[in-house]
Amino acid sequence: MMEYIQELMTPQVMFVIYLFIAFIVALYVLSVVYVFIDARRRGSQYFWAWGLLALIPFVGLIAYNVLRPSTYLADREEQELDMALRERQLAQYGTCPRCGSPIEKDFVVCPVCNTQVRNVCPSCHRPLDAHWKVCPYCRTHIQ
Task: Examine the pLDDT at 140 and tell me if it is beyond 80.
Answer: yes
Question: Which pLDDT belongs to residue 17?
Answer: 94
Q: Is the pTM for the entire model greater than 0.95?
A: no
> For the residues 108-126, what does the mean pLDDT come to?
88
Reduce the secondary structure of the chain to three states and give it as a string. CHHHHHHHCCHHHHHHHHHHHHHHHHHHHHHHHHHHHHHHHHCCCHHHHHHHHHHCHHHHHHHHHHHCCCCCHHHHHHHHHHHHHHHHHHHHHCECCCCCCECCCCCCECCCCCCECCEECCCCCCEECCCCCECCCCCCECC
